[in-house]
Amino acid sequence: MSSNTTTDPSVSPGPTQTSRRVRRSLVLLRWGSLIAPLVLFAAFAVTAWNRLEADAMREASRRSELIVEYVRRTVEGQELLLTAADEAHGRLSFGADIEERMHRFLAAMTGASGWDSVSLIAPDGANLLTSERYPATGYFATPEYVAGISRSEMFIDRLSLGRTRLLVLAMRDHDAPAPGIWLAKVEVAPIEDFLRNIAGGSGRDAASVMRADGRVLLRNLPMTDDLQLTADTMVMRKIATSDVASYETVSAIDGVRRIYSTRRIGDLPLYANFGMAVAGVREAWMRQAMLAAALLGSFGAIGFGIARYAGRALEAETARAAHDFDRKLLAEAQKTAATRETMLRELNHRINNNLQMIQSLIRLQKTREAGPDLDEISARILAIARIHDLLYQSGSSFHVDLAALLQSVASNAALVPPERGIVVDCDLQRVEADARVATPLALCVTELVTNAVKHAFGPEGGTIAIALRAIDGRAGAEVTVSDDGRGLPETVRP
């Protein structure tokens, strides 16, 4: 005999798959709270730097356009002034008092245009005409300088006369009987003030105007009058191939790294430069990066804190559940042990009763004159064994299906040999009974069937009927065993 034990389904079998998934998720959340802000910050830092660098490039381009427009208009004004002086000089060259009349004309033009002075100088550098004074005296420059600037149709230069720094536009005199050079002069201070306004007050951004040969004419930052860029500098390489260029380089003048935009000023041999200091871009990037780091760090810290708190709460809940599980498991084990002890006592009692019953059957057979019938004893023992088999199959230690038990008795070939031609007809309702009742009932039915097989039929055989009916309204059942054989002799009938 065996017993089946079951575990209370309400008792948890320990940490579930769900709790393990939750724990893994919390670990991922904790690490994700640290790694995700770093990844996002790196992506933001790269994106922000590229955006700020592109913004600086666009701003440098915009400001260089402003410088181009301002200088272009200034130079065009000078050109118009010198062209007018050259034409007037040609018209007045055949009249009397030409020098005085030209002086008044030039003084009137410079007063109206805002330029400092207009002069006509001879190849040896002597002043022939000037708006500054009459008569014109003195020398403006050396013959070598005049020869150098006269090689071009138009020449622009920066000169220092005492403490005054001038921007000079030179144009050859086409209408004079003798060769000469027209000069328009203006102080650079107002123009450099404009460049400083364009560059702002940081002192790091640079605005300048230079000639195509590398001579720096104007700059918002301090410079020397003879500042000359060499051909290997970045700006010279750029203007050699293009009229418009954007690039990042270290300034050859002050060593500051800037993002530059360089543009040619119209058709003139002049270029406007504007450079945004990379340090300023970096500072703006650092401000944005620090703000992003603070925000992402806050989110990461909050996420890490939540994950840590949830992890501790889960550990506490797991520990509590494990404690409850151990307590319930102990109670279940104690309950199972008590059940098994009861079943063992019942099993020992039942075995003892069955052995006594088998002993009684053997004694009863020994009293017969013909001697013991071993087949009959075997059938009775098989009936008892069938009860235990049904108990095992049902999973119960106390109740037996009487219908199945009686069907097994009826189909036992030891009771009803097939060669006798006897048919056992069973009409059985399902009724469960205590094993202590089923055992003697099975023996009784076995005895009745055995008697019918032995005494009720001749060689022709017959039918034995076994019926099982539940009694309505009562906790019981009725078993009937009958046959259609020859019946009892007249002498023994009641």
| Tens-place pLDDT, residues 215-246 | 999 999 888 878 899 999 999 999 999 999 99
Burial class (CB in 10 A: 0-12, 13-18, 19+), 90: middle
Give the tokens for residue 142. 């050396």
| 394 part of a folded domain | yes
Give the tokens for residue 180. 């000469």
Tell whether 300 and 420 lie within a shared domain: no
pLDDT, greater one: 361 or 336:
336
Q: What is the mean pLDDT of residues 407-412?
A: 81
9 pLDDT higher than 50: no
Q: What is the pLDDT of residue 480?
A: 92
Tell whether 293 and 432 lie within a shared domain: no
| 405 part of a folded domain | yes
Tell whether 297 and 390 lie within a shared domain: no
Q: Place 277 in a pLDDT band, splitting at 50, 70 and 90.
A: very high
**CA distances (Å), 59 to each of 45, 131, 460, in order?**
21, 41, 124
Tell whether 402 and 305 lie within a shared domain: no
Q: What is the mean pLDDT of residues 7-15?
A: 44
- Percent of the chain scored above 70 by pLDDT? 78
Q: What is the pLDDT of residue 4?
A: 41
48 pLDDT higher than 60: yes
Closest CA to 261 of 176, 198, 191: 198
Give residues with Cβ within 8 angstroms of 68, minimum separation 6: 263, 264, 265, 266, 272
Tell whether 82 and 212 lie within a shared domain: yes
For the ranges 4-13, 96-105, 403-412, 463-472, which has the lowest average pLDDT? 4-13
Tell whether 281 and 177 lie within a shared domain: yes
pLDDT digits (tens, 9 = 90+) for 137-189: 888 888 888 888 887 778 888 887 766 677 788 887 655 555 688 888 888 88
Tell whether 316 and 464 lie within a shared domain: no
pLDDT digits (tens, 9 = 90+) for 343-378: 666 665 556 666 666 666 666 666 665 556 666 666
Tell whether 171 and 281 lie within a shared domain: yes
| 398 part of a folded domain | yes
Tell whether 178 and 314 lie within a shared domain: yes
Give the tokens for residue 481. 């065993």
Q: What is the pLDDT of residue 3?
A: 40
Q: What is the mean pLDDT of residues 331-352?
A: 72
| 355 part of a folded domain | no
Residue 446 sits at φ, ψ, to 5 deg, of -60, -40
Task: Residue 73: give its domain's CATH number.
Answer: 3.30.450.20
Determine if the pTM surpasses 0.75: no
Tell whether 199 and 299 lie within a shared domain: yes
Q: Count how many domains the chain has.
A: 2
Closest CA to 232 of 206, 250, 257: 250
| 358 part of a folded domain | no
Q: What is the mean pLDDT of residues 176-205?
A: 84
Q: What is the pLDDT of residue 7?
A: 42
- CA 347 and chain centroid, separation: 66
How many other CB atoms are there within 10 angstroms of residue 398's CB atom?
A: 14
393 pLDDT higher than 90: no
Which residues constitute the domain of residue 106?
15-320
| DSSP assignment letter at 471 | P
Three-state secondary structure call for residue 341: helix
Q: What is the pLDDT of residue 5?
A: 40
Tell whether 135 and 221 lie within a shared domain: yes
| 31 part of a folded domain | yes
Interatomic CA distance for residues 182 and 174, integer angstroms: 10
Residue with tokens 């209370």: 8
Task: Residue 465: give its domain's CATH number.
Answer: 3.30.565.10
Q: What is the mean pLDDT of residues 251-273?
A: 94
Tell whether 176 and 250 lie within a shared domain: yes
| 143 part of a folded domain | yes
| 490 part of a folded domain | no
How many other CB atoms are there within 10 angstroms of residue 368's CB atom?
A: 10
pLDDT digits (tens, 9 = 90+) for 118-131: 888 888 888 888 88
Q: What is the pLDDT of residue 492?
A: 55
Q: What is the pLDDT of residue 128?
A: 86
